[in-house]
Amino acid sequence: MTQTALTLTKNASTAIVEALNQCVAETAVTTMLAQNFHWNVTGMAFGPLHELFQTIYEDHFTAQDDLAERIKALDGHAEGTLAGMLDRSKVSEHEGEASDKEMIEAMMKAQQTLAATLAGCGEIAAEHGDALTEDLCIARGQEHEKFAWFLRAHLR
Ligand SMILES: [Fe+2]
């Protein structure tokens, strides 16, 4: 049966909030990763890659807010510290120099990780009948797989 914020049990909303915080953390870390690459990319494809990384961080900046505000709609606590996000994120920051190809590969992997995390969160929401969170996660997962394709197309 479909549930809403008002009808979810405490255990259900706690599980969904935990999964959403994982999504927020990885989206935020990937936002910074994309901005890092936007600033530091070099090579003959500088222009389009500089723009693509900007498209990604702008998308992710909006998405992390949407995901965190879904947590608030469920009356949970949205993890709001960089340290806490880095601690739980399966996406890592990139330190130091990287070639354009290394950046594309790292960002493609980040997008694939995010797609899996969002799909998993959607599954948890679905198990508890939370169609509204599930819908948000499905939409976000689709965006991450689209970006993964954009990046993969550079490597063929
Ligand atoms: Fe810029």
Distance 39 CA to ligand 1 centre (A): 7
Contact 91, 33 (CB under 8 A): yes
pTM of the model: 0.97
Neighbours of 95 (CB within 10 A): 7
Percent of the chain with pLDDT over 70: 100
pLDDT in tens, 33-54: 999 999 999 999 999 999 999 9
**E strand residue ranges, the chain:** none
Residues in the chain: 156
Distance 75 CA to ligand 1 centre (A): 35
Query: In this model, does residue 1 exceed pLDDT 90?
Result: no
**E strand residue ranges, 20-141:** none
Query: What topology does CATH give the domain 12-75+97-155?
Result: Ferritin (1.20.1260)
The rounded mean pLDDT for the chain is 98
pLDDT in tens, 61-112: 999 999 999 999 999 999 999 999 999 999 999 999 999 999 999 999 999 9
